[in-house]
Amino acid sequence: MFPLSLHNVQIVLAATGFVLGFICVLIGIIILITRGYSREVRALATHAAKLGQKGIGYEVSGLVTSASDLVNAINGLVRTASGVGIFLVFLGMAMLAASYWIVTQIEWAVL
């Protein structure tokens, strides 16, 4: 076992928090960029809208209701993915701030 002083523990906690915070921010940004409104979601929304228009033209109310539900589900999917990304960014920022606070609490020896 390595004997750890209080300073060493604080440095390890700050470094670990910084690395994990940076990773959370990075993953959150990647989720916001890639999962937001991707090409597949746009194509699905376009086809659902066309399906709804055909249902209105042929007076098929069940088809219109299903297309409307599909579009609402797609919007919920986009909001959920964006919410997860934003949460990860805020969590990462909080971890970075906590790491900074831990570093400021260390009493560095004056050389």
Question: Model pTM?
Answer: 0.70
Cα(65)–Cα(46) distance, integer angstroms = 16
Amino acid type, 51:
L
More confident of the two residues 72 and 91: 91
Question: What count of other Cβ atoms lies within 10 Å of the Cβ of residue 6?
Answer: 9
Q: What does the mean pLDDT of the chain come to?
A: 81
Q: Where are the domains of the chain?
A: 39-100
Cα(29)–Cα(111) distance, integer angstroms = 41
What secondary structure letter does DSSP report for 35?
A: S
Going by C-alpha positions, the residue among 53, 48, 50, 40 that lies closest to residue 67 is 48
In tens, the pLDDT along 90-104 reads: 999 999 999 999 999
In tens, the pLDDT along 75-91 reads: 777 778 788 889 999 99
For the chain, what is the radius of gyration of the CA atoms? 24
